[in-house]
Amino acid sequence: MFLRIQHLTKFSYSRPVFLEPMTVRLRPRSDCWQKLHQFKMEFNPLPEGTTELVDLDGTSSTFLWFSDTHPALNITTTSWVETLRENPFDFILKDPEFLELPVHLSKDFQLPLAPCLRRSAESTTVDDFARGIAQEVNRNTVSFLSTLCSRIHETMDITLRLSGDPMSPEELLANNTGACRDLTVLFMDACRSQGLPARYTSGYYYGDEEFSERELHAWAEVYLPGGGWRGYDPSIGLVVSNQHVAVASGPTPILTAPTTGNYRGTGVDSSLDFEIQMETAESLDALLRPQHVGRK
């Protein structure tokens, strides 16, 4: 699938402010799952300087800094992406320790995957939830992941919450209502309670209008030897394939934030608005032509 994604981020201030240095994570990944053919990023006002960098988990980021004061900041990105993997189950587990739950990692995996196994807090509620599903599927790892993903989708009500940190897994299990980031954090914690390395991924989902037009989407990725990082989206209850475009990944949600930065100003009110448009076509050339198909 070929996708054109335009993403406008608008910061507005009630009076001019000093913009502190900022990190922007809006460039889609380019790997064996998806290919970034073209990418364009525009700023208004123009920053004093920018530098491109690779973040901790391989995320392509832009670091920028400003001079003077400004009443607003607009960031517009346009991405031309080809998604490549239609079959998310095209792998076998090559390491015996990953076949049954709970997983006990060998020394080769413990150090590099440690951040993706660390839980923010121990929770018997999450432990019992994950253990029950593991027992239901006879502790089979692949079956556990698919069942966990679908179970969260079936039992939780999805809500749109445009700001705020993810709620805790225990809070979500108590309320049964959350945004995509809340469901993702629960999925990650349930995996980690069974010894499975899991990380948070943000990006775009070309599916229901609820996901594709209103906000960035979030899902989880689990590391499986022989399969690498495999995506699971509890918001739709499915394994990730070619309708998702990954942008940033990390062991915690904060490391995948589309923008990270501050401003200096006294008595200033601020607001954040955004607009995401997605189009699809059968070829890259079709997307580059003036008339596009499959507008979402």
* Domain co-membership, 184 together with 276: no
Looking at the structure, do residues 73 and 125 belong to the same domain, yes or no? no
Q: What pLDDT was estimated at residue 159? A: 84
**Predicted local distance difference test score (pLDDT) of residue 199:** 98
Are residues 121 and 219 located together in one domain of the fold? Answer: yes
With respect to residue 90, please indicate whether it lies within any of the assigned structural domains. Answer: no
- Boundaries of domain holding 283: 2-84+257-288
The alpha carbon dihedral of 45, 49, 52, 57 has a sign of negative
Per-residue pLDDT of 20-39, as tens digits, reads 999 999 999 999 999 999 99
Q: Are residues 101 and 75 in the same domain?
A: no
Give 200's strand partners.
Answer: 220, 250
Same domain, yes or no: 119 and 55: no
What Cα–Cα distance (Å) separates residue 203 from each residue in 109, 213, 250?
Answer: 26, 12, 12
Contact assessment for residue 273 and residue 10, using Cβ atoms and an 8 Å cutoff: yes
Distances (CA, A) of 176 to 24, 189, 193, 214, 223: 32, 16, 20, 22, 27
* Residue 211, φ and ψ in degrees, nearest 5: -95, -40
User: In the structure, what pLDDT confidence band is assigned to residue 209 with cuts at 50, 70 and 90?
Assistant: low
Give me the percent of the chain exceeding a pLDDT of 90. 81
Question: Residues 236-256: pLDDT tens digits?
Answer: 999 999 999 999 999 999 999
Q: Which residues, at least 6 apart from 46, have a Cβ–Cβ distance to it below 8 Å? A: none
| pLDDT for res 283 | 87
* Average pLDDT of the residues in 191-219: 84
In a domain, 250, yes or no: no
Per-residue pLDDT band for 208 (boundaries 50, 70, 90) equals low
For residues 2 and 294, is the Cβ–Cβ distance under 8 A? no
**Pick the residue with more confidence: 288 or 75?**
75
pLDDT in tens, 154-164: 999 988 776 77
